Amino acid sequence: MKEMMDFIGIKSIDELFEDIPEEAKCSIDLPPPLQEMNVEEEIKKMMKKNKTFYEMSSFLPILKPHYIPAIVDEIVGRQEFYTSYTPYQAEASQGMLQALFEYQSVVAELTGMEVANSSMYDGATALGEAALMAYRIKRRGGIAIPSCLFEAKKQVLKNYAKGANLKIHEMPCKNGLPELREYNGIDAIYIENPSFYGVIERRGDEITEVASKSDALIIAGVDMLSLAIYNPPEYADIVIGNGYLGNYMNFGGPLLGIFACKRKYIRQMPGRIIGATIDASGKRAFTMTLQTREQHIRRGKATSNICSNEALCAISFLAYIAALGRNGLRKVAMQNKNNAHYMAEQLEKIGFEVPFKDFFNEFVAIPPVDAAKLNKKLLEYGIQNGMLLNNPENSILYGVTEMHGKELIEEAIKKIKVAMEEIE
């Protein structure tokens, strides 16, 4: 260690961290070193504190449990696919390129868009990239978003907007949906379907009219599974979303970001696009058609500095949809909707208010007791209840999927009822 410090001209390790502000530094009290076997034992002890969905039923929204067929793991576990590294053109096999091409095709079909890229990081960063893409097209410097947007997603967008000096306008929400209004000097209007409150957006014509009067693009955030039973947002210019299908929750990820748009905007789309062509022998082949990254073209002409993608997650997404097919995907989507509505009906029977009735697999419910106390009490009964909301006051956002069968819901309702009685 002394030889290394002498070589680089420092007297202590602390000098390596002089550029870090004091307020950003933190000290970690690490235990003494252990052998590998002992470290593994310690990690196993820590992991025992975790609870799976099968051990503790969860009704949290945003990232919800979905069943993943075994064939998905079998496919993505093949050595040809099993890497998070982004292959470049010279290294990419025809198999990987074809899989990503098929992924793009599936995304384009589900979203109703003409083109799709081969994935982004997640839904939040896809929104940030969509805002920058709209700015490159319109060159005005603003975006209108619902005020009732998931706070984590809103913060990511603000980070993207800060560097580009984009102004964010927040549309107030009413009845679970944003109040549409005209804005001057904006590049895009962002609409989610379903909304953060789970409400289905059915105002396509009105959204188109408002965007037209504002001369703004329409960015639509979608739940990919809902597109199996609801019409895609054909009114949109850009469609984004979280590609959670086929991917495990894993405490929040990794996921992939869905990104699709109209063909006329393809040159402004971030990320990579895989295309089909003909090779020198006249056979069908696949290639990276567009790669507008700063590593491939002049930095000033790059559409994004995204330096990787979620290729493995995209393959999982594709394998899941290919395994289920059209009818299977539609069946799962209907199970999600039916289970969610059944849960809402059962909650209403024990005194909850469900203010918004038109929803897919997430909904708002207001308990007759203190929501925070109810959630805390339910942990004692092995239930992770929904997410607490301040608006509407004392409300809970529930997430229900095909994993929440009728028996599980009825058992949860019994425990919720008992918990409410104990709080009263």
In this prediction, residues 417-424 reach a mean pLDDT of 92
What is the model's pLDDT at position 87? 60
What is the model's pLDDT at position 246? 96
Largest CA distance in the chain: 77
Which of 233-237, 297-301, 393-397 is predicted least confidently?
A: 297-301
pLDDT above 70: percentage of residues in the chain: 94
What is the model's pLDDT at position 288? 85
As a whole number of angstroms, the distance between CA 386 and CA 173 comes to: 21
Q: Is the pLDDT of residue 83 over 70?
A: no
Residue range 169-193, pLDDT digits in tens: 999 999 999 999 999 999 999 999 9
Q: Is the pLDDT of residue 26 over 80?
A: yes
What is the model's pLDDT at position 295? 57
What is the model's pLDDT at position 27? 81
Q: Is the pLDDT of residue 392 over 90?
A: yes
Domains of the chain: 57-67+325-423 (3.90.1150.10), 70-321 (3.40.640.10)
Residue range 94-133, pLDDT digits in tens: 888 899 999 999 999 999 999 999 989 999 999 999 999 9
Evaluate the omega torsion of the peptide bond into residue 233 and state whether it is cis, within 30 degrees of 0: no
What is the model's pLDDT at position 22? 87
Distances, alpha carbon 14 to alpha carbons 1, 29, 31, 372, in Å? 13, 16, 20, 44
Q: Is the pLDDT of residue 297 over 90?
A: no
What is the model's pLDDT at position 85? 62
Q: Is the pLDDT of residue 309 over 70?
A: no
- Average per-residue pLDDT for the chain: 92
Structure tokens at 109: 């079909």
Q: Is the pLDDT of residue 296 over 80?
A: no
In this prediction, residues 45-63 reach a mean pLDDT of 92
What is the model's pLDDT at position 25? 85
Which of 96, 73, 83 is CA-nearest to residue 272? 96
Distances, alpha carbon 258 to alpha carbons 158, 183, 226, 240, 403, in Å? 19, 27, 14, 5, 23
